[in-house]
Amino acid sequence: MEDYMIRVLTKNKQIRALAVRSTNLVEEARQIHKTTPVATAALGRALSAVSMMIALEKSGEKVGLRIIGDGPLDRVIAEASMDGEVKGFVGNPQIDIMLNEKKNKKKLNVKKAIGNGELYVRKMMGLKEPYESKIQLISGEIGEDLTYYYTKSEQVPSSVGLGVLVDTDSSVKAAGGFIIQLLPETPEETISKLESNLNSLGSVSRLIETGITPEELLDKVLEGFPYDITKVTEVGYNCNCSKERTLEIVNTLNVEEIKESLKEDGYVEVTCHYCNESYRYNEEYLKEHLEREW
Ligand SMILES: [Zn+2]
């Protein structure tokens, strides 16, 4: 089954919604980063979120989500671009403590893995300065934090549901989610009907586990509100790094470090955080491309 995202608008023009199935995308992230189940769940929720968040932007070319916590996972980074790129990583992909501590509980403890901290949303729009805003984490489960972000920081009443279900062999059994947003001047009766739908929804992971499609997920969330699908996009894990782009990382090293690597190895090697691809730069290449004093 293909991963895809849909964007819809209710026929009464009061609710905008998005839903995604991201099972293969998150499984690919797990294989690249060799994440343990709790790290897979955290990264998978963030990746599912950005794959929808980008479709809420009118002019944004990229949306970045950064969650920096004091828990053992350290950080969760995810990014999506208009051209279909979705990628991410976590600070400590191998953390496993959570699972052992909560063996009797089926739910992976993402909250504990992340801890207390901040969530940043960064929007990059071409040549304009990137726009970034941050909130304090209110839950650490990511979905609730994004609900809070949209409602408080962007002033759009929203509800974000994210779910990643990890199988007994640690592979991703199912992943996906939804974002619901109220458009201006939505009447109270719409809000209370929507709230009652959301309250009876249950766990998003469990729903996704049943092989539910994005359409079926929104049929439940938006029960009683007929809608039109305004956009359908395929989503997948995709990093567009290259030797040229990754040179930016070399540029953050100081000249002494660069010289030392060149002397020791004959090249400077940089590994992309998002896809683990390694690039090697020799002295000739660096002298030609790096705008630095040697
Ligand atoms: Zn890459």
Same domain, 109 and 249: no
* CA distance between the termini of the chain: 52
242 Cα–ligand 1 center, Å: 7
108 Cα–ligand 1 center, Å: 28
124 Cα–ligand 1 center, Å: 18
Report the distance separating Cα 38 and Cα 28, nearest Å. 15
**Domain count within the chain:** 2
Q: What percent of the chain has pLDDT over 70?
A: 96
Ranges under pLDDT 70 in the chain:
97-107, 294
DSSP secondary structure, the chain, as one string: ---EEEEEEETTS-EEEEEEE-HHHHHHHHHHHT--HHHHHHHHHHHHHHHHHGGG-SS-SEEEEEEEESSTT-EEEEEEETTS-EEEEES-TT--HHHHHTTT--S--HHHHH-SEEEEEEEE-TTSPPEEEEEE-SSSSSHHHHHHIIIIIS---EEEEEEEEE-TTSSEEEEEEEEEEEPTT--HHHHHHHHHHHHTT--HHHHHHTT--HHHHHHHHTTT--EEEEEEEE--B-----HHHHHHHHHTS-HHHHHHHHHHHSSEEEE-TTT--EEEE-HHHHHHH--S--
269 Cα–ligand 1 center, Å: 14
178 and 160 Cβ atoms separated by less than 8 Å: yes
192 Cα–ligand 1 center, Å: 44
The pLDDT value recorded for residue 96 is 78
25 Cα–ligand 1 center, Å: 15
Question: CATH no. for residue 283?
Answer: 3.90.1280.10
276 Cα–ligand 1 center, Å: 6
197 Cα–ligand 1 center, Å: 40
65 Cα–ligand 1 center, Å: 17
274 Cα–ligand 1 center, Å: 5
Same domain, 98 and 78: yes
pLDDT tens digits, 259-292: 999 999 999 999 999 999 999 999 999 988 887 7
The pLDDT value recorded for residue 84 is 79
pLDDT tens digits, 107-120: 688 999 999 999 99
87 and 237 Cβ atoms separated by less than 8 Å: yes
272 Cα–ligand 1 center, Å: 5
74 Cα–ligand 1 center, Å: 21
239 Cα–ligand 1 center, Å: 5
State the chain's maximal CA–CA distance in angstroms.
Answer: 70
Same domain, 218 and 195: yes
Report the distance separating Cα 49 and Cα 45, nearest Å. 6
284 Cα–ligand 1 center, Å: 23
Domain of 265, in residue numbers: 243-289
28 Cα–ligand 1 center, Å: 13
**Token pair belonging to 79:** 């990014």
Same domain, 141 and 17: yes
32 Cα–ligand 1 center, Å: 10
Does residue 265 sit within a domain? yes
23 Cα–ligand 1 center, Å: 20
Does residue 294 sit within a domain? no
Same domain, 227 and 250: no
Same domain, 180 and 278: no
245 Cα–ligand 1 center, Å: 9
